[in-house]
Chain A
Amino acid sequence: MLSKIEFKVNGRNTVFSGNPLTRLIDVLREDLGLTGVKEGCGEGECGACSVIKDGKLVTSCIIPVGAVNGSEIYTIEGIRDTEKGKCLVESFAEGGAVQCGFCIPGMVMAAYALLSENPHPTDEEIRKGISGNICRCTGYDLIVASIRLAADKGGDLWA
């Protein structure tokens, strides 16, 4: 029997000993204070709560914390100060990708996962990479352009 759930968040060991069906987003935001993880739909469809679990982009609002035992989770707070994170943040700012900003942490996580897997994506691949992230402000074009900019500016960073 497991009395607790152990996993890593942004490189730090984390132990959770409550209800294993608690949503991962609630543990991240309320227990760990990682409020860069946003809750939008709460149904795993809008992507605002996107995090990287064992290298894959997932929505933390629909994953119970019991399913991440032994996993490595990265949130926006865990990547923003890395070279790749800075490259993305600067590119999003330079490309005018942000309006209200609510979707942006999820978008950055999606872009991070995409470029880490595919350093030179086409526009179609970028659109597929962010297809699980909904933005109600920008119409996506500037976000796609900003991710392309991050791929170009980052160069070998993403290889």
Chain B
Amino acid sequence: MIYRASTAEEAVKLRHENPSSVYLAGGTEIMRLGSSAAADVIIDITALPLSDIETADGKVSIGALAVLQDIKEAEVIPSFIRDAASFCASLQLRNAATVGGNFALRRTDSYMAAALLASECEVEIMCSEGVKKMAASAYFDKPECRGLLLRFIVDTKREGRVKRISRASHMHAAVTAAFSGGCYAWSVSGSGTAYGHSRDGWKNIDIKDDLTGSAEYKRYLASVLL
């Protein structure tokens, strides 16, 4: 069953009314190998006006439906976040995959999560009580949240770096790591995500073997990437 939401409020209402539901935009994260997204009800949010990238007061607002190619090309976005979008090695995928989907599904091989968490950006989400602004990390830590991610708000002057190790450019990353303004973040395939101001923060992840490599290999990568 599919519903097409015409407003963010309507999308959130539908999400709360249907426990087994999922938001659908580009769809590439839902369909990607290893996706755990499953639902009886699909809430189509593609019609919502959430793809703008705008600057104001030293911040850049990135709509959750902005696709990775638009992020890669937007010079107002800090370069390390644009680099993270480039990790999605296919132009076709970048034309379809949205930044909101890549972040909200919280995959451990996410292209964007480490860079966005390290940027210490804020997010706006639509909840049943209305629009809320919070740290992206606070949203990320609540996978049970049914709110709709509306936009990321990033400091335009933020500098940083992001690195990703995978066996080939198009394959799932073993480790993606980012550093910005004193904040570190790691996404470790099949294991978890960690962020914070400690360079050893990756040690909080229970790193496991998976198709991208052994636990020992990924621990080594996490320790040396930044």
Chain A residues close to B by CB (< 8 Å): 1-2, 5, 20-21, 23, 43-45, 47, 50, 53, 56-59, 62-64, 66-67, 69-70, 110, 128-129, 131-132
Contact = CB atoms under 8 A, between A and B. Distances in A.
Interface of B: 1-4, 24-28, 30-33, 42, 44, 46-47, 89-93, 95-96, 170
Given A2-B2, A2-B3, A21-B42, A131 B30 contact: no
Contact of B92 (A59, A67, A128): A59
29 contacts: A1-B1, A2-B3, A5-B2, A20-B2, A21-B27, A21-B30, A43-B32, A43-B170, A44-B32, A44-B96, A53-B96, A56-B95, A58-B95, A58-B96, A59-B96, A62-B32, A62-B96, A63-B26, A64-B24, A66-B27, A67-B24, A67-B27, A69-B4, A69-B46, A110-B92, A129-B91, A132-B90, A132-B92, A132-B93
Contacts of A132: 89-93
Nearest to B14: A1
A128 B28 CA distance: 21
Contacts of A2: 2-4, 44
Contacts of A47: 90, 92
A40 B46 CA distance: 27
